[in-house]
Amino acid sequence: MKPLNLLSAEDFLEGQLLLVDKPLGYTSFQAVNALKWAIIRKFKLKKLKIGHAGTLDPLASGLLIICTGKSTKKIATYQGLEKTYTGTFTLGATTPSYDLETEIDAQFKTGHITPEAIELARKQFVGAIMQHPPLFSAIKKEGKRLYEIAREGKTTTTTARAIEIYTFDIDSSKFERKQTLDFAVSCSKGTYIRSLAHDFGKALDSGAHLSQLRRTAIGPYQVTSAQTPEEIKTLLCT
């Protein structure tokens, strides 16, 4: 695979797979758009096919696969690969979005939660399970995105979908001090880690929300081999 600074216009048009380490605060669209215009400007192209193979929320960081040119035909294949994440659940409180995008809407007791209860709950989420997507998600219902309905203050329901959690590890060493649980999970396409956090809180007869998330791998592709959009833009200009 050629270094980025040695790629030609033809290389990008024929198809490239770019491993991007998306920073916090970036939308997936912003990451794609930043690279699209950097490539178009450098090579004076009129247009360029480009897209990503799986959204990451603005409050999540980590691996984003971006495809250009003819490689965009493979996006569906990359979307179907196993995903791996690390992050943090905060127990004792829920939010409407299941993460920090929205304010806390309810608080719960956590004094009854023991290491044994955490382990019992963890086991419930390994393997093939049914999961409800968050109301704050891009899934469409009756022609509208769910997050559009939620932001209008309207209530609706979501349909549970079959997913699979391949591995799910919990580190509870910070729980007594911070009410948080660090985790690592590998899962199938369509899994919402925000929903996993919310459901995990319910399984503990409490509440929980996702307070930190990083995608570390998509199939064989690792975030350790990725670069930020700014790093990629700098390499393209050298």
Return the active site residues: 57
Which runs of consecutive H residues, i.e. helices, occur in 154-212? Answer: 175-178, 193-203
CA distance 11 to 55: 25
Q: Which amino acid would we find at residue 153? A: G
Q: Strand, coil or helix: what is 153?
A: coil
- Looking up tokens 């307070």 gives 211
Query: Residue 134 contacts by C-beta under 8 Å, 6 or more apart in sequence?
Result: 97, 98, 146, 158, 192, 194, 195, 198
Contact 107, 141 (CB under 8 A): no
CA distance 68 to 14: 8
